[in-house]
Amino acid sequence: MKKIDKIVLFSFVGPFVVSFGIALFVLVMQILWLYIDEIAGKGVGVLILIELIGYLSVSTFPLALPIAVLIASVMVMGSLAERYELSSMKAAGVSLFRIMRSLIFAGAAIAFFSYVCSDFIIPWANLKFRSRLYDIRKQKPALTIEEGVFNEDFRQFIIRVGKKEKDGETIRNVMIEDQTTAGRTKFNQILADSGQMYTTQDKRYFVMNLFNGTQYQEPGSQGGSKGKSEKYPFIRTNFTSMTKIWDLREFEMNRTDEDRFKTQRSALSMSQLRANLDSLQTNITDAKKAIAEDLLLNVRKKPVKPDAQKKVSKVDSLRQKEAGMQLIKAVGQAKGPSPQMEKLRPEIPVQKVDKPITAYTGFEETFITGDRSKIIKEGRNRAKSAKTTVETRKAHLNNRRREMVKTGYELYTKYSYALVCFIFLFIGAPMGAIIRKGGFGYPILVSIIFFVTFVMLTIMCRKLAESYLLTPFWASMTPCLVLVPIGAFLTNRAMNDAQMLNIDRLELLTRRFFSRFKKKEETVGA
């Protein structure tokens, strides 16, 4: 590695690490803020929270890496151009691509790292994050006993404390309603003048020592030996001291089996997503065939008697279709009763044809008069059944199509996020050479503009894919295809030492416009 490559590469590493850390922090806080209501008040430990943030940080790598590459490349090339080092290198005959060679290798390595993360690390991190978040959601809120508030944290117990002393343990005017004996007692309540509450040293139990109180109990009615309910008197018990103990294990977070989250798209690798795409494509094809078969069976199905319980096999179904075709031919060709029609008459009631088929005004006239209402009713029922079946199949088909689009977009987005890391290098480096400003001021402003453009294109293309206007592949690759010409244009301008906008031409056009405007005013005044 030559000295110029070392200088450019070492200048790139520092801003890249700082930019990556800032971008990662912003993205993690933005996503974590969506779940803050589900995490707050659950008594989640610091280690669990750090673990959750760690998994979330890994899952945001594909978004943080492109913006870090963009900011770092703008800063490096902007600093070189600001100190005229870039001009000196070009004056010595070193091309812009030669100066960017180490950055190109670094961008390719970052793109490959993003690809590896998307395929192997991020699915594992998403699986862990979903599992831990589900555990936190299912966890009961942390135990909080407040003054004058009815607390129902413990199952089947209602606790109310009138006043808490400054030490946090001494309590006054305590009320506890026990609902664990519901059915045996109608009412079970404890009132105490004072008490003391604390947790054991191992944080396993919550203890309340109550003093100078009364327990009120009203037993429920129970059936006697002769079926009559027996009543018991109301019980009042005075005490000077009573201890109530609750187990705190119900507030602990239980680990959920992670296998229940392995089928989510964000927790699947690329090979698994491809396998899902193939399965979904097969399901869609089978669903379309099922709809066609249901329509054919409902149109040409043989009337089945209500008392028939046997299922019709495929062979019987084909025989019914063949018999129906023979009947239609017989009706169209016969001028009167025929042995073929008489043979089919017991299965499908048909009126004896004594006139040409064109003389009938409706299809129902070909049936016996007494059977017409029955056949019409059966036809309506079949039509409703066929409509319900087709609508159910259609809803299933639409769900499969929607799932296929989302799965395909999830797969191809992994490629696009890796590719954009390399594309942003050819946008940031030329922009730094053009604006000739280092530091975090202009580079961050320029980077935010291009990154927001990429995010907006990504969201728009995802909506188009979900609306079936774009395929998942083109929806994920369109933002990259839009940025490629921009990168090529900026690189060409930077190689030719051209400005982003030709200010001289803009000033010339402005002068000509105002000069013509002044001439028109002078002509009107004369």
pLDDT digits (tens, 9 = 90+) for 431-442: 888 888 777 777
Query: How many CA atoms within 13 Å lie on the side-chain side of 262?
Result: 6
Cα–Cα distance between 376 and 364 in angstroms, integer? 8
In whole angstroms, give the CA distance from residue 325 to residue 346: 16
Distance from C-alpha of 313 to C-alpha of 319, rounded to nearest angstrom: 10
Using DSSP, state whether 296 is helix, strand or coil.
helix
Give yes or no for a contact between 65 and 110, defined as CB atoms under 8 angstroms apart: yes
**DSSP 3-state assignment of 238?**
strand
Q: What is the pLDDT of residue 20?
A: 93
443 and 75 in contact (C-beta within 8 Å)?
yes
Q: Which of 133-147, 305-319, 346-360, 407-421 has the lowest mean pLDDT?
A: 305-319
Residue 433 and residue 384 share a domain: no
Q: Do both 427 and 499 map to the same domain?
A: yes
In a domain? residue 517: no
| Structural domain includes residue 278 | yes
State the pLDDT at residue 169: 83
Length of the chain: 526
| Same-domain check for residues 121 and 29 | yes
Rounded CA separation 377/382 (Å): 9
Q: Are residues 13 and 128 in the same domain?
A: yes
> Roughly what angle, to the nearest 10 degrees, separates helices 61-82 and 442-466?
150
Q: In this structure, are residues 277 and 404 in contact, taking their beta carbons and an 8 Å threshold? A: yes
Asked if residue 500 has pLDDT above 70, the reply is no
- 192 bridge partner residues: 174, 213
| E strand or H helix that includes residue 394 | helix 372-435
**E strands within 69-184?**
157-164, 170-178
Residue 328 lies in a domain: yes
Gap between the Cα atoms of 526 and 521, Å rounded: 9
Written as six digits, the tokens of 121 are 């690390």
Q: Are residues 67 and 190 in the same domain?
A: no
**Mean pLDDT, rounded, of the chain:** 78
Residue 520 lies in a domain: no
Q: Which residue range is the domain that position 349 belongs to?
A: 274-403
Rounded to 5°, angle at Cα 232 from 231 and 235: 150
Highest mean pLDDT among 2-6, 39-43, 343-347 belongs to: 2-6
Q: pTM for this structure?
A: 0.66
Interatomic CA distance for residues 154 and 251, integer angstroms:
9
pLDDT on residue 176: 87
Domain boundary among 362, 378, 403: 403
Angle value at C-alpha 297, between 293 and 299, nearest 5 degrees: 120
125 shares a domain with 21: yes
Residue 50 lies in a domain: yes
Beta 222-223 vs 229-230: how paired, if at all?
Answer: antiparallel
Q: Tell me whether residue 169 is in a domain.
A: yes
The DSSP symbol for 203 reads S
Answer yes or no: do 383 and 500 share one domain: no
- Tell me the C-alpha distance between 255 and 376, whole Å: 60
From the list 156, 177, 11, the residue with the least C-alpha distance to 81 is 11
pLDDT digits (tens, 9 = 90+) for 327-364: 444 444 444 444 544 444 445 555 555 667 677 777 67
Question: Which residues is 216 bridged to in the sheet?
Answer: 189, 236
pLDDT of residue 226: 52
Cβ atoms of 403 and 281 closer than 8 Å: no
Distances (CA, A) of 486 to 438, 440, 491: 21, 22, 9
For 189, phi then psi, to 5°, come to -135, 145
Q: Comparing 146-155, 223-232, 278-287, which segment has the lowest mean pLDDT? A: 223-232
- Tally the domains of the chain: 3
The larger pLDDT score, comparing residue 1 to residue 45, is at 45
Instruction: Looking at the structure, tell me whether residues 69 and 122 fall in a common domain.
Output: yes
Contact 69, 107 (CB under 8 A): yes
Q: What is the CA radius of gyration of the chain?
A: 40
Residues 31 and 108 in one domain: yes
Q: Is residue 148 part of a domain?
A: no
Can you give 451-499 as a three-state secondary structure string?
A: HHHHHHHHHHHHHHHHCCCCCHHHHHHHHHHHHHHHHHHHHHHHHCCCC
Write down the residue that tokens 């993003």 correspond to. 114
